[in-house]
Structure 1
Amino acid sequence: MSENKLRREMGFIAALTTVIGTVIGGGVFFKATAVYGATGSASLGLLAWIIGGIITICAGLSGAELAAAIPKTGGMIAYLKHTYGDLTAYLLGWAQTIIYFPANIAALSIIFGTQAVSIFGVPANSNQFTVSIIAVVTAIFITLMNFLGAKTAGSIQSLFTFCKLIPLAILIIFGLLHEGNVTFQLFPVEVGSDRSFLPALGSALLATMFAYDGWILVGNIAGEMKNPKNDLPKAIVFGLAAVMAVYLLINISFLFVLTAEQLASTSTPATEVSKVLFGNFGGKLVSIGILISVFGTINGYTMTGMRVPYVMAREQKLPFSSWFGKLSKTGVPYNAGLFILIVAIFMMFIGGFDLLTDMLVFVIWIFYTLTFIAVYILRKREPDLKRPYKVPFLPLVLSIAIIGGIFIVVNTLMTQTILAFWGIGLTLIGLPVYYMLGKNHVVVDDE
């Protein structure tokens, strides 16, 4: 079926659940450590979750205009190519291939390993080799499962998407009902000792962005909605607002059980909270639920990640494109999947969860910000472009998305300069590759 013949069968409720299911992943269970470690206080930590949610809602509303106007295979790559040309789109695909997808798989696999050893009462910090081995085995197993075909991978994703909501609901309900000695205040908003307000907020905001990531995909459903002009913005606003509410509730429930300092000092905050709420046995049951959630999230990134280098290889934009472009008998780009897996395993041994997620968020937000700016550019350059949906409340919504993106990028450059330069450097390595292979590039129109 060609792209301009997508069947418009999706109503508001289906779009709403798609938004929520796409964004909620594994980060919500573990990013409390980084958020409260950066802020040193509950109030500033919760403010970071709120600001992160507002930026995400505005980002979703902004990106959706391009998704509705340019409903092509490739999503953001197609938007950037249409606006800025082939090189910018290529650099995004390159960054996704060597940074974004491998780093996501690596970071989440590390968390899976950390969570797994904690179930058996083994301290993760002093058993990093064991955590790494579990992470590697997990990533390999999930990749092999995906090699069985898209139907198998999709079935796994559907099952685990539902399962990941169960531990969230349990922790929120019992955490809010918990009567303990832990108290915290929302106002005045304070920063912890030996910290500066803006750098602390910026670092915490960067951490929340990993948990909110995935919003760019919500605009891709525009071509399949019955009434995108009315239903898409509502699905984005209500869906991402629901995600923000869930994230706030889970963090408040955590803070009802443990202090901000205690959350900052553990690599498995959700597990520690569940142990207090349910004891060791009950805590292990909740931890198993969290493992299932993280497993499903890794599967989602594995399933979608291997398609990016495959598409680039079809256009002869990667070295050894004929190798990357091979499909298995089940129609899976297995060589592209192997490459993503190998890079992810390498990353597991050179960086921890927060380091990897901070780098991938920094890099991807450079391209997110370019996407928001593209809305303005195309409004002026192509005023007659058919737009089934337009960003509401201009210029406020789009300005928040752009300013938020610039703040995330600039703050990372200032506070985590080495990490930022690594991300930029790995991305720019794609430039000589692009020009070296330029004469071989081909245009592929996907039906």
Structure 2
Amino acid sequence: MKNKTKGKIGFFASLSISVSSVIGIGIFFKNISIFKNQTLEGTNNFSLYSFLLVWILGALLSLLTAYCFLQVSKSGHSKSGLSGWISNLSNKKQGYLARIFQAFLYYGILGTILPILSTEMIFNAVASIRGINVTNIHFGYVVLTGFFVGLSLITLNFLSLKTTVFLQQFSFFFKIIPLLIAITIAFIGSYNAPNINSENLNPGANGIASTKFFNWSGLFLSLPIVLFAFDAFLMIGNLADDMKKPKQIPIVSILTIIISGVIYFFISLGVALTGYANVVNIFSSIFKNQDQDQIHKIITIIVYFMLGFSGYFVCNSVTLGTLRGFEGLVEEKNIIGANFFSKLDNRKHGLGGYILYLIVFVVYSALLFIPSIILNTDSLIDTFSNIPINIFFLVYAYAIYLALKKHLQTKEPAIRFFKAIALISIISIVIIMGFDIIYRDIYLAFIKGGQSNSGVFYASNNWKYIYDGISYWGFIIVVSLFAYLNYYNHFKKQKTRADLI
């Protein structure tokens, strides 16, 4: 028994990897977009209540979804997490398609984008050192740095699982401490200069004041973005073969949501009370006097570096999950060119999956980074970062539906309150993601038009909703065609083998 579990990761290591894959990008980067969505058009005011409620609803829905996967995981052992459970609950063809989409539409794109978003924080620190705005540094430098960071993380995870586990255990504490400090500062700052429900501008909040109105469109537009902040809670499912006890995966996912949800809520409360969308400004807000400018600058630099490296830890976790996903595709010969990648695997275990990941990483990098460098904006990258979450929460809902259907048909015992929670989760996800697709990617993109909020630190004023819509539907169509080609090739070969037998 000891030999079977030797070198594998235990419960705390699994939890550290899972939490580290969730906390670090969403609250630090997406919070800015969420904050923008709560502003009242044509004014400098934002809705305190819709801003807080969107985080509460996002955390609650993610928790209910994770709870439902306690039942989904009872369908049987899965090396590949979500796609394996779908295969167990439906058939191999559906599981195969889920696996292809998960590898190329979800992990492939996130594994490419996240290093860039994290590198933006590092360059903010560099800009602070030089005393300039980060936009004075061309976005191309950010992209090239993030590209090489991404390549390095892919190679690191291929060469050493132990190093990755150590880094993620360290990152667990590395992230929690500054977040707790930020929460404390936010509450102290808001007590000294409260701005709740104030109709007047708050000078300490960069001209953004909280008001009594409730922004419904901002709430619904932001829910998919909030879910981005929680989405990677099922990433640990890809590491089933690396865990001592794979049955702990659903528990790890639930604890990940609880820990992340509590921290996210208090951070968002601090943001709402101080009026600072950028967490860095919360830290520096306690040094407002002119004679404290040097301290303010030092704090800003340190925090930006910490947030950047915190983002890299998220990238490291996601990269590990992505690499395991591609290794699984090669091992089970589920991809076009499987024979070539399998030959590489024969030379060194996992080499085929590593090379496949590198190919996907380079292709996606060319697709996203070249236009971004030319346009000098991160709006395209931010737009693409939302696509996987939009689609895969619907896939989560489908997996829960399959588990509910099986339970109703077989009358087998289920976890407590599963039917009620499953229905709430499925309906909520379909409404939220359905609204997002119809409103943002159809109505705003192709009917109403207008300037999009996509973008983080290099947001472009010329980026329109129609670009979001074209990016969304274009990418979905391309990946769907690729998935179909793989599907046709894979099952055609299986049929040929069956006919020969």
User: Which residue matches 1:194?
Assistant: none
> What SS is found at the alignment partner of 2:318?
helix
Pick one of 477, 490, 494 that aligns with 1:425. 477
Distance 1:120 1:10, change over 3 A: closer
Alignment of 1:236-385 (within 5 A): 240-259=257-276, 263=277, 269-277=278-286, 279-325=296-342, 326-327=344-345, 329=348, 331-332=350-351, 333-346=353-366, 347-350=368-371, 352-384=380-412
1:400 equivalent in alignment to 2:424: yes
- Aligned counterpart in structure 2 of residue 79 of structure 1, from 81, 85, 107: 85
Amino acid at match of 1:78: G
Q: Cα offset for 1:393?
A: 1.9
Mapped contact 2:327–2:350 kept (Cα < 8 A):
no
Deviation at 1:17, TM superposition (A): 6.7
8 Å CA contact 1:274, 1:282 repeated in 2: yes
How many angstroms apart in 2 are the aligned matches of 1:97 and 1:17? 22
Aligned to 2:225: 207
Q: Name 2:487's counterpart in structure 1.
A: 434
Displacement, 1:286? 1.8
Among 130, 133, 141, the alignment partner of 2:141 is 130
The alpha-carbon deviation at position 221 of structure 1 amounts to 9.8
Is the partner of 2:416 in helix, strand or coil? coil
Q: Residues 21 and 313 of structure 2 are in contact (CA less than 8 Å); yes or no, is this contact kept in structure 1? A: no
Deviations 1:337-380 (A, max 9, x none): 31242144233445644312211111211211111101112113
Identity of aligned residues (%): 17
Structure of higher CA gyration radius? 2
**Cα separation, 1, equivalents of 2:222 and 2:182:** 22
The aligned counterpart of 1:184 is: 196
Please report how far the alpha carbon of residue 63 of structure 1 lies from its aligned counterpart in structure 2 after TM superposition.
1.1
Distance in 2 of aligned mates of 1:39 and 1:159 = 35
Name the CA shift for 1:306/1:225 in 2 (closer, same or farther; >3 Å): closer
Residue 402 of structure 1 deviates from its aligned partner by 0.4
Q: Which moved more, 1:178-187 or 1:311-320?
A: 178-187
> 1:239 deviation in Å?
5.2
SS at match of 2:180: helix
2:159 aligned with 1:148: yes
Structure 1 residue 256 displacement after superposition: 3.1
Deviations 1:253-303 (A, max 9, x none): 1233335xxx3xxxxx12233332451101221222212211111111111
Once the two structures are TM-superposed, the CA of residue 98 in structure 1 deviates from its matched residue by 1.9
Q: Distance in 2 between matches of 1:330 and 1:313?
A: 11
1:156 offset after TM fit, Å?
2.6
How many Å apart are 1:243 and its aligned residue?
Answer: 2.2
Which residue number corresponds to residue 88 of structure 1?
94
Aligned-residue offset at 1:71: 2.6
Corresponding residue for 1:47?
53
**Equivalent residue letter for 1:303:** L
Aligned residue in 2 for 1:266 = none
Q: Structure 2: how far apart are the matches of 1:238 and 1:189?
A: 34
Match for residue 44 of structure 2?
none
Compared CA separation, residues 381 and 367, structure 1 to 2 (3 A)? same
Determine the C-alpha separation between the residues in 2 that align with 1:113 and 1:220. 26
CA contact (8 A) 1:60 1:218 kept: no
Task: Describe the SS at the equivalent of 1:183.
Answer: coil
* TM-score using structure 1 length: 0.82
Following the alignment from structure 1 to structure 2, what is the Cα–Cα distance between the partners of residues 403 and 187?
31
Q: How far is the alpha carbon of 1:31 from its aligned partner?
A: 1.3
In the alignment, is the contact (CA less than 8 A) between 2:56 and 2:265 conserved in 1? yes
2: CA distance, partners of 1:144 / 1:317: 23
User: Which residue pairs with 2:181 in the alignment?
Assistant: 170
Segments of structure 1 that go 5 or more residues without pairing to the other structure are: 192-196, 264-268
Using the alignment, how far apart are the partners of 1:129 and 1:345 within structure 2? 12
**Gap change, CA 1:249 and 1:353, over 3 Å in 2:** farther
- Is the 2:335–2:490 Cα contact (8 Å) retained in structure 1? yes
Kindly indicate whether residue 421 of structure 2 is the aligned counterpart of residue 411 of structure 1.
Answer: no
Task: Check whether the contact 1:107–1:348 (CA below 8 A) recurs between aligned residues.
Answer: no
Q: Deviations over 1:198-245 (max 9, x none)?
A: x422220011011111222567899977997xx977x76665333222
CA RMSD of aligned residues (A): 3.5
1:23 aligns to 2:22 (yes or no): yes
How many Å separate the matches in 1 of 2:36 and 2:60?
22
What is the distance in 2 between the residues matched to 1:313 and 1:237? Answer: 30
- Compute the displacement of 1:409 (Å): 2.4
- Ranked by relative contact order (alpha carbons within 8 Å, sequence separation 6 or more), the top structure is 1
CA gap 1:100/1:117 in 2 versus in 1, 3 angstroms: same
Structure 1: distance between partners of 2:261 and 2:402: 26
| AA of the residue aligned to 2:279 | A
The separation in 1 between residues aligned to 2:141 and 2:65, in whole angstroms, is 39
- In the alignment, structure 2 segments of 5+ residues that lack a partner are 40-46, 198-209, 288-295, 372-378, 443-468
Q: Which amino acid aligns with 1:162?
A: F
Letter in 2 for 1:376: L
TM-score (norm 2): 0.74
Q: Distance in 2 between matches of 1:17 and 1:303?
A: 13
